[in-house]
C-alpha cells in the first residue's frame, strides 16, 4: 500500500470504537487482532475456527478504497459482497446486522438456507454421495454434496478434496445460474480449471467422477 493511504487507514481504525467492543470469542470463533499490511490490503481483525478451517477477515482494499470481509472455508477464499463499504461506520452497521448469522452459516450447515434450485437438483440427496471415498491419494473429503457450501456468483462447492499441508485441493462446483457442474484444482493455492467434469446432470457427473476422479487427484499429487 502507498504510505499515505496506509497511514490514513491506520488512523481511521485506531479510533474505531467498534473494534474495542468485539468479544474474544463468538460462535466458537476466536478473535485475532491483525493490524497488518498484506500486499495491497490492510488486515484489521479476523474471527477464526481452526478446527473447522474457517475464518472471516475484515480488511481495507487499497485498489477499490473500500472495507471488505473475506470468508475463508478450507482453501477457498471469497469476498462477501454484502459487506463492501466505503467507510468503517457503514461497515459497522452491516456487521451488527449480519455478522452473527454469517458465522452461523459457515460453521453449521443449515438446509433451510440452501437455494431451492439446489433442492430441485437433488444434490443433497444424491445416492452417489456414499460412493465418494473419504480419502484419495492423501486428499481428504472436506466438503461433500450432503452439505454444499455457497460461495459467490451463484456457485456452490459440492465436493472438495483437500491436502491442507500442501495447500492444494480439487473442487466440484455447481452454478445455479448456468445449471452447470464444473471442476477446479488448486496447486499450492494456484487455481487451474479443468473441463473434464463439465455437465448439467447428476447422472453425467457421476459417470465423470467414476471415470476421472482418482486420476485427477493422482495427477495433482504428482505435481505438489
Residue 86 banded pLDDT, cuts 50, 70, 90:
very high
pLDDT tier at 171 (50, 70, 90 boundaries)? very high
Given a contact cutoff of 8 angstroms between Cβ atoms, the answer to whether 122 and 202 are in contact is yes
Do 137 and 204 lie in one domain? The reply is yes
Instruction: Tell me which of 107, 134, 156 is where a domain ends.
Output: 107
Over residues 213-223, mean pLDDT: 98
Q: Is 83 in the same domain as 116?
A: no
Burial 96-113 (b: 16+ CB within 10 A, else e): eeebeebbeebbeeeeee
Specify whether 22 is located in the same domain as 91. Answer: yes
Give the model's pLDDT for residue 48: 98
Q: What was the pLDDT predicted at 114? A: 93
What length does the chain have? Answer: 224
Specify whether 148 is located in the same domain as 96.
Answer: no
Say how many domains are in the chain.
2
Residues 88 and 11 in one domain: yes
Domain residue limits at 177: 112-223
pTM over 0.85? The answer is yes
The beta strands (E) that lie in the chain are given as: 25-26, 29-38, 41-49, 54-61, 66-73, 76-79, 135-136, 139-143, 149-150, 155-163, 168-175, 180-187, 190-199
| Long-range contacts of 22-28, Cβ-Cβ distance < 8 Å, separation of 24 or more | 26/100, 26/103, 27/100, 27/103, 27/104, 27/107, 28/107
Q: Determine what percent of the chain is predicted with pLDDT higher than 90.
A: 99
Amino acid at each position: 500500500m502507498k504510505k499515505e493511504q496506509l497511514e490514513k487507514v491506520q488512523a481511521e481504525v485506531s479510533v474505531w470504537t467498534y473494534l474495542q467492543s468485539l468479544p474474544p470469542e463468538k460462535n466458537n470463533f476466536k478473535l485475532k487482532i491483525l493490524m497488518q499490511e498484506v500486499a495491497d490490503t490492510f488486515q484489521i481483525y479476523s474471527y477464526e475456527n481452526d478446527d473447522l478451517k474457517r475464518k472471516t477477515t475484515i480488511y481495507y482494499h487499497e485498489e477499490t478504497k473500500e472495507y471488505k470481509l473475506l470468508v475463508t472455508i478450507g482453501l477457498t477464499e471469497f469476498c462477501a459482497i454484502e459487506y463492501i463499504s466505503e467507510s468503517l461506520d457503514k461497515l459497522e452497521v452491516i456487521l451488527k446486522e449480519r455478522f452473527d448469522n454469517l458465522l452461523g452459516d459457515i460453521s453449521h450447515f443449515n438446509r433451510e438456507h440452501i437455494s431451492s434450485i439446489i433442492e430441485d437438483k437433488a444434490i443433497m440427496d444424491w445416492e452417489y454421495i456414499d460412493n465418494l471415498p473419504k480419502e484419495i491419494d492423501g486428499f481428504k473429503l472436506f466438503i461433500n454434496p450432503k452439505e454444499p457450501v455457497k460461495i459467490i456468483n451463484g456457485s456452490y462447492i459440492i465436493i472438495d478434496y483437500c491436502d491442507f499441508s500442501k495447500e492444494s485441493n480439487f473442487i466440484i462446483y455447481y452454478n445455479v445460474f448456468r445449471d452447470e457442474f464444473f471442476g477446479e484444482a488448486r496447486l499450492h493455492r494456484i487455481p487451474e480449471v479443468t473441463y473434464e467434469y463439465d455437465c448439467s446432470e447428476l447422472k453425467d457427473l457421476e459417470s465423470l467422477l467414476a471415470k476421472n476422479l482418482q486420476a485427477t487427484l493422482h495427477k495433482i499429487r504428482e505435481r505438489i
